[in-house]
Amino acid sequence: MTLDEEQKRWEENVLNPALKRFPERRASFQTTSGITLPRLLTPTDPDADYMEKLGFPGEYPFTRGVQPSMYRGRFWTMRQYAGYATAEESNQRYRYLLEQGQTGLSVAFDLPTQIGYDADDPIAIGEVGKVGVSISSLEDMATLFQEIPLGKVSTSMTINAPASILLAMYIAVAKRQGVDIHNLRGTIQNDILKEYIARGTYIFPPAPSMRLITDVFRFCQAEIPHWNTISISGYHIREAGSTAVQEVAFTLANGIAYVQAALDAGLDVDGFAGQLSFFFNAHNNFLEEVAKFRAARRMWAKIMRERFKAQKPSSWMLRFHTQTAGSTLTAQQPENNVVRVALQALAAVLGGTQSLHTNSMDEALWLPTEKAVRVALRTQQIIAYESGAADSIDPLAGSYLVEYLTDEVERLATDYIRRIDEMGGALAAIQRGYIQAEIQDAAYRFQQAVERGEETVVGVNAFQVDEQVELERLKVDPAIEQSQRSRLSALRARRDANRVSELLARLETTARSSENLMPLLIECVENDITLGEICRVLRGVWGEYEPPAWV
């Protein structure tokens, strides 16, 4: 079949049915000069392996995107990662962002919440509400989403070790709102391996942590079919200092480990694979970032079809959220961060992201203000509505340089995965310290290059100015911690103590069994058992993770 015949087949059988679900945003797409843009361009003199390597959007191997019409049908979900202080204040920020045109929520939790402690735990002193919102109970979660219809909004939650508990709270709030939980849409990060590698907000050892993850897979497959049960994250790997190739390799290696764990738990690959999602960083090297996203999609499609023998095309798709690179933001000349974020966001769009968060220009200094967040959101909207970047299904396909970089990222990342496989997989490589050492070496090499002037960071080691930063600053009131303590005290005083004791005893018994924990976790939070109380029971059964000491 010729390329023209293949394209006609794709349009009739794949693109046109997709457009019935999401019609093109405009009747015609034209440049400012009146030039009509075709839906899709293909190389005029393709290589013999063109169809195998690139194919068409919405088809294996998904190099050109997972949706046939991409952004001509609908834009990516525009999210702004937000959460600070109390649930009330974060709720106000979410409603503000939705009013400004944001199309999905993304929740940041404070450190005690991330590691399974209530706001009144002694270990939480000084950290309540500082790097995210403090959520200890269902009451907090209900306040966080007050007047936000969970049946209509897609919510992403950056939570890992206690992800199943926060998901249980979200489900309980939706039920209170009268929402059919089968209709809930969103994502929990739920990626513990990258916590062991790069981020550090782990609680439990690997075996029970993986059990919690596969319990979520099984529960959501049956009860919340539109929910992304995990967001396998390269973002934090990149923030720790990895290269683009390492970000792809280590993220997909972790993905392989999760798929294998689910299979070992008795799940069918085509039953859960369509609910897996990924989370990548958008960094500064513009064309390499575009190529990175394309390569990751192609690699994952091959892994799922060839390695795990998945049969459904939806199981082969790598769907991902992108966040611009926090590690590239500078406290010096913070206005320059607007430019960095715009370029990084454009790379994510040209690389085919399904969801995007743009960082605020003041994040290297303090919590972002409403104005800075609005500028970050407007950056996405300008790319979507003004730049023309979303008017063609795959704008950079066929670029010699982009295709070369895509092939090279795939080749080098595949070599990393081969080495990890030889060690026994991602968890074995983590326990040996291999992945951590590779990231640390890459970060060290880059920092040396900056200090030698071989890498330029504008405003930091070149083009410096003497300046007094005068941006508006958002502060967290220290009284928030005491307020949260008082709320928890009142909650514990009015709940049914006998019921709480009964449920915590059942939780301990169930944790020692192989029974799925999700239904019981929902029951626990609905009876006002707190995050910290649940995690305390699970710590008592499973212990805590202690990273190995490497020499």
Q: How confident is the model at residue 375 (pLDDT cuts 50, 70, 90)?
A: very high
From CA 55, how far away is CA 64, in angstroms rounded?
7
Q: How confident is the model at residue 329 (pLDDT cuts 50, 70, 90)?
A: very high
* Residue linked to tokens 């999905």: 104
Nearest of 323, 304, 422 to residue 376 by alpha carbon: 323
- On whether the CB atoms of residues 109 and 135 are closer than 8 A, the answer is yes
The pLDDT, as a whole number, for residue 550 is 62
- On whether the CB atoms of residues 81 and 158 are closer than 8 A, the answer is yes
Q: Mean pLDDT in the chain? A: 94
Q: Which residues contact 240 (CB under 8 A, 6 or more apart)?
A: 197, 198, 199, 439, 440, 443
**Residue 45 pLDDT more than 70?**
no
| β-sheet bridge partners, residue 78 | 356
Tens digit of pLDDT for each residue in 225-266? Answer: 999 999 999 999 999 999 999 999 999 999 999 999 999 999
**Residue 406 pLDDT more than 70?**
yes
The pLDDT, as a whole number, for residue 331 is 95
Secondary structure of 459-519 as H, E, C letters: CCCECCCCCCCCCCCECCCCHHHHHHHHHHHHHHHHCCHHHHHHHHHHHHHHHCCCCCCHH
- On whether the CB atoms of residues 296 and 318 are closer than 8 A, the answer is yes
Q: How confident is the model at residue 323 (pLDDT cuts 50, 70, 90)?
A: very high
3-state secondary structure of 276: strand
CB atoms < 10 A from the CB of 468, how many? Answer: 4
Enter the DSSP assignment of 156: E
What letter represents residue 441's amino acid?
D
Alpha helix stretches (DSSP H) within 273-399:
286-302, 313-316, 336-350, 370-385
CA 438, chain centre distance (Å): 22
Domain ranges of the chain: 70-451
CA 429, chain centre distance (Å): 23
CA 369, chain centre distance (Å): 22
Q: How confident is the model at residue 46 (pLDDT cuts 50, 70, 90)?
A: low
**Residue 433 pLDDT more than 80?**
yes
Q: Which residue has the higher pLDDT, 525 or 47?
A: 525
Q: How far apart are the first and last CA of the chain?
A: 58
Average pLDDT value for residue range 190-211: 97
Q: How confident is the model at residue 273 (pLDDT cuts 50, 70, 90)?
A: very high
Residue 22, both tokens: 């999401």
Q: Which residues contact 197 (CB under 8 A, 6 or more apart)?
A: 236, 237, 240, 250, 254, 430, 435, 436, 439
Tens digit of pLDDT for each residue in 118-128? Answer: 999 999 999 99
| β-sheet bridge partners, residue 276 | 230
The answer to whether the pTM exceeds 0.75 is: yes
Alpha helix stretches (DSSP H) within 62-122:
87-99, 111-114
Q: What size, in residues, is the chain?
A: 551
Q: What are phi and psi of 223, to 5 degrees?
A: -110, -30
The pLDDT, as a whole number, for residue 504 is 98
Average pLDDT value for residue range 482-511: 97
**Residue 175 pLDDT more than 70?**
yes
Domain 70-451 of CATH type 3.40.718.10: no
CA 201, chain centre distance (Å): 15
Average pLDDT value for residue range 12-40: 88
The pLDDT, as a whole number, for residue 472 is 78
What letter represents residue 163's amino acid?
A
Point out the least confidently predicted range of 74-83, 187-196, 442-451. Answer: 74-83
From CA 373, how far away is CA 504, in angstroms rounded?
41
Alpha helix stretches (DSSP H) within 100-205:
111-114, 138-144, 163-176, 193-194
Average pLDDT value for residue range 476-500: 93
Q: What percent of the chain has pLDDT over 70?
A: 98
Phi-psi region of 38 (alpha: psi -120 to 50; beta: other; left: phi over 0): beta
